[in-house]
Copies of this chain bind each other. A is one copy, B any other.
Amino acid sequence: MQNQNNSGINSATILIHCPDQPGLVAAVTDFINVNGGNIIDLEQYVNRQENEFFMRIKWDVSKFLIPCEKIEDYFRTMYANKYGMTFRIYFDNYTPRMAVFVSKMSHCLFDILGRYTAGEWNVEIPLIISNHEDLRWVAERFGIEYHVLKVNKDNKETVEAEQISLLKEKQIDFVVLARYMQILSDNFIESYPNKIINIHHSFLPAFIGAKPYHAAYERGVKIIGATSHYVTTELDAGPIIEQDITRISHRDSVNDLVRKGQDLEKIVLSRAIKLHIDRRVLVYKNKTILFS
């Protein structure tokens, strides 16, 4: 019999980490099992150097004895407090809401909106914010609100307040910087911890900061990369979610690197977004654990 309290919810996903000790897997799986849940997916990992335990479990809650809105409370009381666990629970009846920040380049935005309209991701995108008018036509073609808030060195605080106001109005859960090209204030970043995904057009930590393709050209590297990471207050130093690379040669000019790099950027960013949407990313000490 379907739990009446959980109607419309099929699965829950929990991400956990805590100091390692014997019995953690058995304890959590037992909690799910004895309450009528069925484990759909479990991945566990222990970082021996840090002695820290990490786990992601997705389970079927259609017959779960505990109503979904009470699971967090029960789990905290009976397990998290006992084992010193940090955890988050997500249910599949909620669709995360994402805002995209762009500047003038369209390649990442097209890739995101192409996937969005094809239904590839479980996400809502109600808002695009830019500091330029250039991509308004793209947003309009896809029927998404587009707000231009021009940033300069004097009005950053005001503009960010407007941005945050829009994010709250649209109930945005996470922000994607799709080549936004502006540096956010610490205050903005700290309002969305591990919820701002950036794409940097280099193989971090190589070529931090501005003009990485120029720097790669100058250094004469044979491979270029792109890196998607959560934004932290230290520039280009946040937890890395995904990276990929492509070969180049001495024949490639800076413009060739830009062109080849754009293919990397859009694919790497989209993979990171998908991992985030699917609740597969856990951040610990500025690194990501990615559950497969």
List residues of A whose CB falls within 8 A of some B CB.
Answer: 22-26, 29-30, 32-34, 37-49, 105-107, 110-111, 113-115, 117-118, 120, 141-142, 203-207, 219-223, 225, 239-245, 247, 249-251, 253-254, 259, 263, 267, 270, 286-290, 292
- Write the nearest CB–CB distance from A142 to chain B, whole angstroms: 8
Let me know if A220 and B207 touch, CB within 8 A.
no
- Write the nearest CB–CB distance from A260 to chain B, whole angstroms: 9
Let me know if A249 and B106 touch, CB within 8 A.
no
Query: Which residue from chain B places its CB closest to the CB of A250 in the assembled complex?
Result: B289
Let me know if A106 and B117 touch, CB within 8 A.
yes
Query: Quick one: copies of this chain in the complex?
Result: 4
Query: Which residue from chain B places its CB closest to the CB of A143 in the assembled complex?
Result: B141
Inter-chain pairs besides A42-B42, A221-B243, A245-B245, 13 sampled, C-beta below 8 Å: A23-B33, A25-B42, A26-B39, A42-B44, A107-B114, A110-B110, A203-B223, A205-B221, A222-B240, A249-B290, A249-B292, A250-B289, A263-B267
Partner of A26, one of B26, B46, B114: B26
With the chains together, A270 CA to B43 CA distance in Å? 27
With the chains together, A40 CA to B46 CA distance in Å? 7
- Report chain B residues within 8 Å CB of A245: 223, 245
Let me know if B207 and A49 touch, CB within 8 A.
no
Q: Could you write out 22 A-B pairs with CB less than 8 Å apart?
A: A25-B29, A25-B39, A26-B39, A40-B46, A48-B253, A49-B253, A106-B114, A106-B117, A111-B114, A203-B203, A203-B206, A204-B206, A204-B221, A206-B206, A219-B240, A220-B240, A222-B240, A222-B241, A222-B243, A250-B290, A263-B267, A267-B267
Partner of A288, one of B38, B203, B220, B225: B220
With the chains together, A32 CA to B242 CA distance in Å? 35
Partner of A220, one of B33, B105, B239: B239
- Write the nearest CB–CB distance from A10 to chain B, whole angstroms: 14
With the chains together, A40 CA to B53 CA distance in Å? 10
Let me know if A26 and B33 touch, CB within 8 A.
yes
- Report chain B residues within 8 Å CB of A37: 22
With the chains together, A137 CA to B29 CA distance in Å? 48
- Report chain B residues within 8 Å CB of A219: 204-205, 240, 287
- Report chain B residues within 8 Å CB of A205: 206-207, 219, 221
Query: Which residue from chain B places its CB closest to the CB of A109 in the assembled complex?
Result: B114
With the chains together, A287 CA to B37 CA distance in Å? 30
Query: Which residue from chain B places its CB closest to the CB of A33 in the assembled complex?
Result: B26
- Write the nearest CB–CB distance from A289 to chain B, whole angstroms: 5
- Report chain B residues within 8 Å CB of A288: 220, 250
Query: Which residue from chain B places its CB closest to the CB of A283 in the assembled complex?
Result: B220
Partner of A114, one of B34, B41, B110: B110
Among A23, A118, A244: residue with most chain B CB under 10 A: A23
